[in-house]
Chain A
Amino acid sequence: MNSDLKLANDNIAARHRKARIFRMFCAGVTWMGAGLLAILLIQVTVDGIKWLDYQFLTSFPSRFPYKAGIKSALVGTLWLIVMIAMVSIPIGVATALYLEELSRKGRFAKLIEINISNLAGVPSIVYGIIGLAIFVRGLGLERSLLSGALTMSLLILPVIIIASREAIKTVPMSIRQAAYALGATRWQTAWAHVLPASFPGILTGVILALSRAIGETAPLIMIGALTYVAFLPEGPMDSFTALPIQIFNWVSRPQQEFHELAAGGIIVLLIVLLTMNATAIFIRQKTEKKLQ
Chain B
Amino acid sequence: MSSSKSVDMQQMRDIDITKKKVRWGEWMIESSLALCATISVVTTAVIIFILAKESMGFFQVVVPADFFFGTSWVPLLEPSSYGVLPLLWGTLLITFGAALFAIPTGLASAIYLSEYASPRTRSIVKPVLEVLAGIPTVVYGYFALTFVTPLLRMLMPELQVFNALSGAIVVGIMILPTIATLSDNALRAVPDSLRQGAYALGATSYEVTTRVVVPAGLSGVMASFLLAISRAIGETMAVTLAAGATPNLSFTFLESIQTMTAYIVQVSMGDTPAGGIAYQTLFAVAAFLFVITLILNIVSQWILSKFREEYE
Binding site for B on A (CB under 8 A): 15-16, 18-19, 22-23, 25-27, 29-30, 32-34, 36-37, 39-40, 43-44, 47, 90-91, 94-95, 97-99, 102-105, 111-112, 114-119, 121-126, 128-130, 132-134, 137, 154, 157-158, 161, 173, 176-177, 180, 183, 185-188, 208, 211-212, 214-218, 221-222, 224, 244, 247-248, 251-252, 259, 262-263, 266, 269-270, 273-274, 277, 281
Contact = CB atoms under 8 A, between A and B. Distances in A.
A173 B3 CA distance: 12
Contacts of A263: 142, 146
Contact of A217 (B30, B138, B293): B138
Lowest 4 CB-CB distances: which A-B pairs, in order?
Answer: A123-B234, A215-B136, A26-B112, A19-B206
A23 B33 CA distance: 51
7 contacts: A29-B105, A33-B180, A43-B147, A126-B47, A214-B136, A218-B261, A248-B138
Given A26-B112, A105-B6, A248-B141, A118 B44 contact: yes
B125 to A, nearest CB: 6
A115 to B, nearest CB: 5
B134 A130 contact: no
B105 A122 contact: no
A222 B268 contact: yes
B13 interface: yes
B286 A125 contact: yes
A34 B109 CA distance: 10
Interface in B261-292: 261, 264-265, 268-269, 274, 282-283, 286, 289-290
B106 to A, nearest CB: 8
A123 B227 CA distance: 11
Interface of B: 5-6, 8-10, 12-13, 15, 17-18, 23, 26, 29-30, 32-34, 36-41, 43-44, 46-47, 50-51, 54, 104-105, 108-109, 111-113, 115-117, 125, 127-132, 134-139, 141-143, 145-147, 173, 176-177, 180, 204-207, 209-210, 227, 230, 233-237, 241, 261, 264-265, 268-269, 274, 282-283, 286, 289-290, 293-294, 296-298, 301
